[in-house]
Amino acid sequence: MRRPMVAGNWKMHGTRASVAELIEGLAEQVLPSGVDVAVFPSSLHVIPVVEGLQGKSISVGAQNCAHEAGQGALTGEISSSQLADAGCKLVLVGHSERRQIMGEGDDVLIRKFAAAQASGLTPVLCIGETLEEREAGKTLEVVGQQLDSVIVALGINALVNAVIAYEPVWAIGTGLTASPQQAQDVHAAIRAQLAKENAEVAQGVRLLYGGSVKAANAVELFGMPDIDGGLIGGASLNAAEFGAIIRAAGN
């Protein structure tokens, strides 16, 4: 059985005061023991969040890392080893905002994925199609290619200590959610693609859904056989709402 995971991507939100308030709210939530919970604050807030959540079973991750694991002359970047040293356990790789707005392509994302693992962090590989690609019937092709680039470069075993998040770009921050069946169809295709390489890896890897998940739609989404939890953006900024989503994954 795969252990469900619910992760909160705080994106470029928060001040010291609002982050302190959010983690206080999280600490008050009654969380099911069977769900792995993680939050991804901005890099600036990683250390206070790690410190503030000490003793709670909530992991902290970063939203991005440099394409090299070690320290070095790379102005403005933060390496995976520095994130690990700060107490991070996971890192997002390939979020659509980084692919589309920051122009990150598969080559650099593969290096970030490898750097994360070299530092002992679990990469959460985000993949997903745009509305245009979905309407052109290219969803599985696009998602398959994004996943394949990592498998070809790093091998199927690189997915053993990783999480995959399927996030249709048209559902992120738009209030539009993929229907449970639409999401399940893509998740099943992702797992089938992995199974072609290695059935055991395919059965073990957690596939999260992301895109306008809220407490009101989480139960149905998480009830699908290949959806192992969620990557939550906007709704993770509200402790009570995020808590309710986590409890939905524990059902």
Binding site listing for substrate: 9-11, 173, 212, 233-234
Q: Is 94 in the site for ligand PGA (CB under 6 A)?
A: no
Residue of 93, 116, 127, 232 that binds ligand PGA (CB under 6 A): 232
Answer whether 195's CB lies under 8 Å from 215's CB. Answer: no
Q: Is 245 in the site for ligand PGA (CB under 6 A)?
A: no
Of 104, 129, 133, 167, which is the active-site residue? 167
Environment class of 38 (CB within 10 Å of its CB; exposed 0-12, middle 13-18, buried 19+): buried
Residue of 173, 192, 199, 200 that binds ligand PGA (CB under 6 A): 173
Binding mask 7-26 for ligand PGA (x = CB under 6 A): --x-----------------
Which amino acid, one-letter code, is at 244? Answer: A
Give the residues across from 210 on adjacent strands.
Answer: 231
Specify the stretch interacting with ligand PGA by CB under 6 A; choose among 31-39, 108-116, 193-201, 204-212.
Answer: 204-212
> CA 109 to CA 112: how far, in whole Å?
5
Which amino acid, one-letter code, is at 108? Answer: V
Q: Is 41 in the site for ligand PGA (CB under 6 A)?
A: no
Specify the stretch interacting with ligand PGA by CB under 6 A; choose among 102-110, 183-191, 217-225, 228-236.
Answer: 228-236
Specify the stretch interacting with ligand PGA by CB under 6 A; choose among 63-71, 78-86, 136-144, 229-237.
Answer: 229-237
Extract the tokens encoding 49.
């969040």
Q: Is 168 in the site for ligand PGA (CB under 6 A)?
A: no
Q: How many residues bind ligand PGA (CB under 6 A)?
A: 13
> CA 246 to CA 240: how far, in whole Å?
10
- Which residues make up each annotated binding site? 9-11, 173, 212, 233-234
Element (H, E) at 20: helix 16-27
Answer whether 79's CB lies under 8 Å from 115's CB. Answer: yes
Q: Is 63 in the site for ligand PGA (CB under 6 A)?
A: no
Residue at shortest CB range from ligand PGA: 233
Of 95, 97, 129, 241, which is the active-site residue? 95
CB atoms within 10 A of CB 158: 18
What is the torsional sign of CA 157, 113, 165, 171?
Answer: negative
Q: Is 231 in the site for ligand PGA (CB under 6 A)?
A: yes
Q: Where does 28-101 have alpha helices with state H?
A: 46-52, 80-85, 96-100
Residue with tokens 């993929």: 178
Query: Which is closer to ligand PGA, CB of 139 or CB of 236?
Result: 236
Q: Is 159 in the site for ligand PGA (CB under 6 A)?
A: no
Q: How far is the CB of 209 from ligand PGA (least distance, A)?
A: 10
> CA 60 to CA 115: how far, in whole Å?
17
Which residues are annotated as catalytic?
95, 167
> Given the rule CB under 6 A, which residues bind ligand PGA?
9, 167, 172-173, 210-213, 231-235
